[in-house]
Structure 1
Amino acid sequence: MTGPRVVVAGGHSAGHIEPAMNLADALRRLDHTAQITALGTVRGLDTTLVPARGYPLELIPPVPLPRSLNLALLQTPGRLRDSVRAAGAVLDRVRAEALVGFGGYVAAPAYLAAHRRNLPIVVHEANAQAGVANRLAARLTTHVFTATPAVRLAHATAIGIPLRPAITGLDRPALRAAARERFGLRPDGPVLLATGGSQGARAINVAVSAAAPALRAAGVQVLHITGPQHEVEAPAGDPPYVVLRYVDEMRYAYAAADFVICRSGAMTCAELAAVGLPAAYVPLPLRGGEQRHNAEPVVAAGGALLVDNADLDPAWIEKRLLPVLTDPGRIASMSAAASAAGAPDADLVLARHVLATIARRRAAVT
């Protein structure tokens, strides 16, 4: 008998693609015979991120959907029909036994194609506010998983977000000295990691760089990842203020840092909780401020601070953040709280469920 055949659909953004790829890796760890195919589109990061992880990618036409289940959803029947047909052709060609969807442009057509074929549909929602594709899918299946219990989806079970073992297995204290040497940081003294994600965040870049004199005066080192579209001049002097446009292996940045100032995307919140890094979250002020909801559980647990984008400036960093950065006891307690809010085994929990679903389906037809 061939290995389990799974199609994963989580396209467009890294927040959808990375959990899909992390699940694929977990499936392979549990069953090396697993045959996994990724659905994607040319519109996002699919053609870059998926091949880099070593999985076959099948492209279908993108169908951006409105963010609510309303009349606008019914006004794109042509594009949706073509995309559903293309997704169905992939499911048939690879003889899929289950579809696992993570939202994004590719998910809704895949859900509909799988539903028409009576294939098991497994849904994972990483964000605190579910997208329209996953809200649609929750009406088609009972196999629904979310990042936190606060996500409102029918049949949902909260398991966290599938992450890479390189993150969930990170021993920050053991890697700290090597990581700091890697970035040219001192082995001792607090380190603030500033990052706006893969594309950077102008508000964070401006506020942190302007606060450099106060941070330096307090003995705080800075590892500042600006993003490829942003320029920040590294101020000369000591302690070090290191500026990089991009870091390939974030585990080293996490190991070097004591605290992070960053956006509150779902993957960022999940990774920082998994490695026990306290943070000052600056939610992206778009889409009704939905990123705020991703950070609220760890903030409530005492593992993070929350600051509005409009309130982030050098004065906030000096008055609110510096007292935390220079208090080892406060950092330690926040780190413990962040760790307690994490879910490091979500990839394996979801993978086991997918494999069990396929096994039951095979048993039912024999």
Structure 2
Amino acid sequence: MKILLSGGGTGGHIYPALALIKRLKQLDPATEILYVGTEKGLESKIVRNANIPFKSIEIQGFKRSISISNLKTIQLFITSIKKSKKIIKEFRPDVVIGTGGYVCAPVIYAASKLKIPTIIHEQNSVAGVTNKFLARYVTKIAVCFEEAQAEFSKYSEKVNYTGNPRAQEVVGIKPSSILKDYHLVADQPTVLIFGGSRGARSLNQAFLEALPELKNKNYQVLFATGDIHYEAIKEQVETQLQNIQSISVVPYIENMPEVFANVELVVSRSGATTLAELTALGLPSILIPSPYVTNDHQTRNAESLTKRGAAKMITEKELNGKQLTEAIDELMLHEDARKNMADAAGKLGLPKAADYLIQIIKDITR
């Protein structure tokens, strides 16, 4: 089988595609894959580093305000449809799948006009503009949150609740001694705090405020500042952490799913990929949604878990050191509360998400 995938702009659009590719190759090593993205997006580096065949088109997103750059966007869209058709005709895929980002628009649209089966995958509880545009043209729509089904109510017959393929990729990870790599004790109760790959200034500030309390707790803390904030944070905490072995401050965590499998609680933003991993592993969490994302979708993502008892949410406006410490203590010092939240999170996990998507692929390519 030949499968063409497209998705870009953020890791949240790319990593589900890579997880799906990995599972497809596990089931049938002869599967041929082609990935279409942009040279400017993260996908150009991430996908190529994964040794997946990659081709690029040039496209950009629309400005929400009136802007002359939107004229260029329209021109690029038309040009990229023509290039996408050329790529598709040369590769001759059995199915074309879009995992989000504006690069998907010309690729999926071109495939639909060439009568090739198509799927869009929406990771968030609020559908993105590109997927809303493509919904009328595609064969199937896959969603990761039950709430997202309402976003495609006009096309309900196309919608399938599959979950995020990333969940299936992490669900088999077993506990290990990885915390030793961060100068912590491997078998001690641990809370992980991070604000995404770039870090989050508000969460970093709350951690600094909470540090005098956190360093005296009977649980460990692993805190990732984000690369750009690390040196400044390190300077501020070094004197406070002399002879303190229970707190580790690092710039970035490369192997996040393995760390997830070895901690008792996660404090983080509420991006779709993170939530897929947390629910797949049945991990309790304190979610601090980023208010700087389109349609405030991280808040909606977090609410999907909190209303089911699978997480606690603190808004960025509410966040400070005292709130952070109290929320962590509420779970780290009360095992029953933590277990109840973990059970609720596990019930939301879809550990066979990639297989569900693969079944849809089989159904529409028969």
What CA deviation, in whole Å up to 9, does each residue of 1:165-199 have, x standing for no partner? 5512123xx42xx1222322124443110111111
Aligned-partner Cα distance in 1 for 2:134–2:312:
34
Secondary structure at 1:163's aligned position in 2?
A: helix
What CA deviation, in whole Å up to 9, does each residue of 1:15-44 have, x standing for no partner? 101111111112212222110100110221
Question: Alignment identity in percent?
Answer: 30
Query: What amino acid is the match of 2:203?
Result: I
Q: Which runs of 5+ in 1 are unaligned?
A: 361-366
Query: What amino acid is the match of 2:273?
Result: M
Alignment match, 1:220: 219
After superposition, where does 1:341-356 map in structure 2 within 5 Å? 341-356=348-363
Picking from 59, 64, 70, the partner of 2:61 is 64
Alignment match, 2:92: 95
Alignment match, 1:318: 325
Secondary structure at 2:221's aligned position in 1?
A: strand
Alignment match, 1:144: 141
After superposition, where does 1:1-366 map in structure 2 within 5 Å? 4-65=1-62, 76-151=73-148, 152-153=151-152, 154=155, 155-163=158-166, 165-171=168-174, 174-175=175-176, 178-231=177-230, 232-233=233-234, 234=237, 235-286=241-292, 287-358=294-365, 360=366
Secondary structure at 1:236's aligned position in 2?
A: coil
Assess if the C-alpha contact under 8 Å between 2:168 and 2:350 holds in 1.
no
- Between 303-312 and 180-189, report the one with greater CA deviation: 180-189
What CA deviation, in whole Å up to 9, does each residue of 1:56-88 have, x standing for no partner? 1100002313579xxx98884311111111111
- Corresponding pairs, count: 349
Aligned-partner Cα distance in 2 for 1:342–1:66:
35
- Between 184-193 and 56-65, report the one with greater CA deviation: 184-193
Assess if the C-alpha contact under 8 Å between 2:222 and 2:249 holds in 1.
yes
- Between 120-129 and 234-243, report the one with greater CA deviation: 234-243
For normalisation by structure 1, the TM-score amounts to 0.90
Q: What CA RMSD, in Å, does the superposition of the two structures yield over aligned residues?
A: 2.0
Query: What amino acid is the match of 2:261?
Result: A
Aligned-partner Cα distance in 1 for 2:295–2:78:
30
Q: Which runs of 5+ in 2 are unaligned?
A: none
What CA deviation, in whole Å up to 9, does each residue of 1:300-322 have, x standing for no partner? 22121001111111010233332
Query: What amino acid is the match of 1:135?
Result: K
Aligned-partner Cα distance in 2 for 1:333–1:346:
24
Query: What amino acid is the match of 2:164?
Result: I
Assess if the C-alpha contact under 8 Å between 2:257 and 2:277 holds in 1.
no
Q: Which runs of 4+ in 1 moved over 4 A?
A: 72-75
What CA deviation, in whole Å up to 9, does each residue of 1:114-162 have, x standing for no partner? 1221111111100111111111221012411100121111221111111
Query: What amino acid is the match of 2:29?
Result: H
Alignment match, 1:364: none
Q: Once the 2 structures are TM-superposed, how far is the Cα of residue 251 of structure 1 from its aligned partner?
A: 2.5
Assess if the C-alpha contact under 8 Å between 1:215 and 1:322 holds in 2.
no
Query: What amino acid is the match of 1:229?
Result: I
Assess if the C-alpha contact under 8 Å between 1:220 and 1:239 holds in 2.
no
Assess if the C-alpha contact under 8 Å between 1:324 and 1:331 holds in 2.
yes
- Between 182-191 and 218-227, report the one with greater CA deviation: 182-191
Assess if the C-alpha contact under 8 Å between 1:43 and 1:62 holds in 2.
no
